[in-house]
Amino acid sequence: MKQTLVTGNEAAAWGARLVRPNYIPTFPITPQTECIETLARWSADGELPGTYFDRMESEHSVMSAAVGAAAVGARVFTASSSQGLLLMHEVLYIAAGMRLPIVMATISRGLSAPVTLWSDHNDFLDQRDSGWLMFHAENNQEVLDMMLQAYRIAEDPRVLLPAMVNMDGYVLSFTDEPITIPSPEMVEEFLPEYNPDHTIAKGRPVTVGPPVLDEYTIFRAQNHVAARNALEVMEEVMDDFDRIFDRRYHLVDEFMLDDAELVLVTQGSMSTTAKAAIMEMREEEGIKVGLLRLRVIRPWPAKAIAEALKGAKAVAVIDRNLAPGRGGIMFPEIVETLYHLDRRPLVSSFVVGLGGNPQTEHKVKEITRKLIDDLETGRPRVEWNDL
Amino acid sequence: MQQFKTLKDLPEQDYFTGGSSACAGCGPSMGLKLALKVLGPETIIVNASGCMTLLPLYPNTPLKASWIHNAIENASSTAAGARHGLDMLGNKDMNVVVYAGDGATYDIGLASLSAVAAKNERIIYICYNNQSFGNTGFQWSTATPYGSETKTTPRGKNNPTGTTAVNKDMVKIMGAHRVYAATASLAYPVDFLNKLSRAKERDGFSYIELLGACTAGWNYDPRLTIRISKLAVRCGMWPMYEIENGILTLNKDFSELKPIDEFLKLQGRYRALPQDGVDRLQVLINEHWAELKEYNGQRYV
């Protein structure tokens, strides 16, 4: 175990190194490139024994090669971002349908056009119906920890689905944060060798990816069941993670919710800023505000979310993404999740931080004050906070 | 290296058995059946979406080897991943073989094929060329020869020629990647299997392009698959050659080509090609043949 300063990209690379993958296919894209460059350097220096580091000609080929390797039973890691993630989109569904537990770090960046290098979550959330397990980290320690957990959850025989671990571009990918890097022995105890029995092996011919007729629905239903199973597996895995590494995670991250009347629902790195603003508002203004951070996006932990929000009077869903013609992507998901509560809170929608537009404490306080107004008028709002 | 001299030398064991859903007289199916005789059961066939994708239909398969179908444009990359996965897990002796159509090879999958060939990955790539996007019902690809009618290049008042583009010289392109590149024909199975046998022993990438006569698309009597495959070679539509380290070797040399009309007249896709179209096609074939004769035994790419 060692304490060190690393960027989010390096934290993902450390995660990959510690899980001992057999194969890492790669393609560069800002802001992800540093992650694969780190792995390339380690590979060249002989620090990744048992791993073949590969370079493809496109992200589509990266995910295709990942599928090929996983189909013969290899443990696979890769990373991507933005346009690259969209180029992979077709093969993401295929990887999930084939039940191949590939793990990918995704580094969120807004989508073209116009071009931006900065972060928002449209690239990541565009994959939300692909069948992948989807995790979103708040800081660099969580990036590494989620990587380890993602492999354990993805490879569980009750799940067998691919998983992506998301971090915000620049804010995490290029920012040094102090993290604890666990020892290889601890990771080996947590994550054993991957020995699948459904993949191609010598003496075991398998047909992967054939056409089906009426059975299509059965296979899709199995994907759904596996993804739902993952929720239970996640709780077991997080307990075990706590036992070995002494860091506690839950399906959702609850911050100062015990007596909170107002709750901000966030995703990713802006949660840290929001938490600081919440502490100030509580201390200086006595506002009973708390935060719920979504860290598992798929499968959707509906029960945990409803439980965490059932005491709130008003909720602000802060979306760093946009579905044009619809609004924030997570807003309707939260509303649907709360619909069956006996006493439903007021739910307002705020679209913020597109293309890296900075999310300051000031903006978080502004949203909180608007939420107080909404509670007085009794009418929720749908608003862009940055315009 | 396994060498075959006559048809009698071909292994009796079959790994492509009954229950295939392919057309009677399907050239690409015959090609895979022959190939598996050399490759054996410890082979992963990586297929690109196309006619052959329908060979296995859940829960049945006519194949006694492994099979991965990913999508149409990514068979090469999928194969590269499978190759490295097998190597890292200690299964270096299993074969990874791509079996993909010309649309998946010349067109939508060219980028991934080119990169994997440039890296000289230990993969055998067999392109079964039926000169079209066959599985969707015979549409134009960049492998479609000049003058062929397809569903997306139909003959009409404004275009009596059908396909006006000249097909890509894919074998030359692959030869330029400094890998082993060769053509093959179902009419010369011994040659095909010897080329495969050679590819299997190579520590790198091999590209074999098999003319996959298509009874449905080319519109001919299914009995004629082998005769048409032979005429394609004799008429210079499908010359038999190989390129290794940039050096060209013509495998079947003829003092004189048969006129292309002998190949065309058996197939519905050329039936209404006007004489000036036939003449133009003959010129293109003669030019290619002359080029191959000129460079035979020499550096070609």
> What span, in angstroms and rounded, lies between the C-alpha atoms of B238 and B280?
17
Angle (CA) A165 A168 A174, round 5°? 110
Residues of chain A neighbouring B66 (CB-CB closer than 8 A):
200, 205-208
Q: ipTM value of the model? A: 0.97
* pLDDT computed for residue B66 by the predictor: 98
Shortest distance, CA A65 to any CA of chain B (angstroms): 4
Nearest CA to A361 out of A237, A271, A230, A262 is that of: A271
> What span, in angstroms and rounded, lies between the C-alpha atoms of B47 and B42?
16
> Strand B124-129 relative to strand B206-211: parallel, antiparallel, unpaired?
parallel
* pLDDT computed for residue B246 by the predictor: 96
Residue spans of the domains in chain A: they are: 2-245, 252-384
What is the tens place of the pLDDT at every residue in B230-270?
999 999 999 999 999 999 999 999 999 999 999 999 999 99
Average pLDDT over residues A150-158: 98
DSSP string, A170-230: TTTTT--EEEEEPPHHHHHHHS-----SSS-BTTB--EES---STTHHHHHHHHHHHHHHH
Closest residue, chain A, to B109 (C-alpha): A61
Q: Assess contact for B205 and B120: CB atoms under 8 A.
A: yes
Nearest CA to A262 out of A291, A283, A303 is that of: A291
Average pLDDT over residues B156-180: 97
Q: Assess contact for A13 and A144: CB atoms under 8 A.
A: no
Shortest distance, CA B82 to any CA of chain A (angstroms): 4
3-state secondary structure of A33: helix
Q: Assess contact for A167 and A269: CB atoms under 8 A.
A: yes
Mean pLDDT of chain B: 97
Counting Cβ atoms within 10 Å, is residue A32 exposed (0-12), middle (13-18) or buried (19+)? Answer: buried
Contact check, Cβ <8 Å, B85/A206: no
Residue spans of the domains in chain B: they are: 7-295
What is the tens place of the pLDDT at every residue in A29-52?
999 999 999 999 999 999 999 999
DSSP string, A343-359: SPPEEEEEE--GGG---
* pLDDT computed for residue A2 by the predictor: 87
Nearest CA to A146 out of A74, A243, A62, A247 is that of: A247
* pLDDT computed for residue A361 by the predictor: 96
What is the tens place of the pLDDT at every residue in A95-144?
999 999 999 999 999 999 999 999 999 999 999 999 999 999 999 999 99
Average pLDDT over residues A184-202: 97
Q: Show the DSSP H helices in A246-325 as ranges.
A: 270-280, 302-309
Residues of chain B neighbouring A61 (CB-CB closer than 8 A):
74, 76-77, 80, 111-112, 115
Please tell me the number of Cα atoms within 13 Å of B128 on its side-chain side.
30
Under 8 Å CB pairs connecting chains A and B tally to: 151
> Is A252-384 CATH 3.40.640.10?
no
pLDDT category, A383, cuts 50, 70, 90? Answer: very high
What is the tens place of the pLDDT at every residue in B201-233?
999 999 999 999 999 999 999 999 999 999 999
pLDDT at B2 over 90: no
Facing B74 at nearest CB: one of A60, A70, A202: A60
3-state secondary structure of A41: helix
What is the tens place of the pLDDT at every residue in A365-382?
999 999 999 999 999 999
* pLDDT computed for residue A264 by the predictor: 98
The pLDDT > 70 percentage for chain A reads 100
3-state secondary structure of A365: helix
What is the domain class of A2-245 according to CATH? Answer: alpha beta
* pLDDT computed for residue B19 by the predictor: 85
Q: Assess contact for B76 and B119: CB atoms under 8 A.
A: no
Residues of chain B neighbouring A205 (CB-CB closer than 8 A):
41, 63-67
Sign of the torsion angle spanned by Cα atoms A228, A230, A233, A239: negative
* pLDDT computed for residue A207 by the predictor: 98
Mean pLDDT of chain A: 97
Facing A23 at nearest CB: one of B63, B71, B84: B84
> What span, in angstroms and rounded, lies between the C-alpha atoms of B138 and B268?
12
3-state secondary structure of B42: coil
Mutation to test the B interface, candidates A20, A56, A90, A98, most B Cβ within 10 Å: A56
pLDDT at B47 over 80: yes
Q: What residue ranges in B18-150 does DSSP mark as E strands?
A: 43-47, 66-69, 95-101, 124-129
Residues of chain A neighbouring B68 (CB-CB closer than 8 A):
67-68, 71, 200, 208-209
The CATH code belonging to domain B7-295 is 3.40.50.970
pLDDT at A385 over 80: no
* pLDDT computed for residue A48 by the predictor: 98
Q: What are phi and psi of A2, to 5 degrees?
A: -145, 150
Facing B81 at nearest CB: one of A64, A90, A203: A64
Average pLDDT over residues A273-283: 98
Please tell me the number of Cα atoms within 13 Å of A224 on its side-chain side.
6
> What span, in angstroms and rounded, lies between the C-alpha atoms of A214 and B277?
47
Average pLDDT over residues A44-69: 98
> What span, in angstroms and rounded, lies between the C-alpha atoms of A91 and A1?
36
Q: Assess contact for B205 and B180: CB atoms under 8 A.
A: yes
